[in-house]
Structure 1
């Protein structure tokens, strides 16, 4: 018996996935669809390395079943585009935010959602939004400065 196809919109493209609906979205993205920008960190939705957007909302893909994304728009780091994404990437590069880089896709996905909701966030808004993304290298001050820069405000 074959698995039912699960329809999702992936990075703006209609996609059908032939995987059990209870499979974690992270593994579907990485193993089935070969989109390896989204990282596995803790597997318990605590670190944020696996953050993607589902219908524009930052979502921990390691604990999100594929079935819950059925019929929805899923955006990964590979598909993140537009002026906010461009500003974030430019700020990340200009301020040399990345150290080891492992958490950075989750950081950027979370920051994108923050800047979409609050184009010029305060330090408190940044701290609240970004607190769920763990950076073992401790680049938090550079992340905050990059978000301010991407939002057009000096840190």
Structure 2
């Protein structure tokens, strides 16, 4: 599998965090296509190719999801449980990237099948380090399943 063909879906409701994450990907020279959704409802619509995400060429199945826990409509906790309960979606790696560091959130996320839990750093430099580590691990080192 061409590691550059892995699409990344980021679910985060904070526009500033989205911009900073996008900049961190750019500075890290990660050239994979990145899509953003801003709540759990949009996340599930994207994954199930429901409007406005029905164009599978434009909105392909992601090979990696970065998930914020605290989002409106359907939060990341609910979305994670739904993804991992769905046989057609559960093989997509999900990394929680959240401001939460609550033990309850960490335990519940792993119980629901999250692949990694990372607390968002407070600085851009810290975020840059996290994105570079994510890129090395998820996009260079591990073998991910083919998109189906």
TM above 0.5, yes or no, is no
TM-score by length of 1: 0.28
* Higher relative contact order (Cα pairs below 8 Å, separated by 6+ residues): 2
TM-score by length of 2: 0.28
Structure of greater Rg:
1
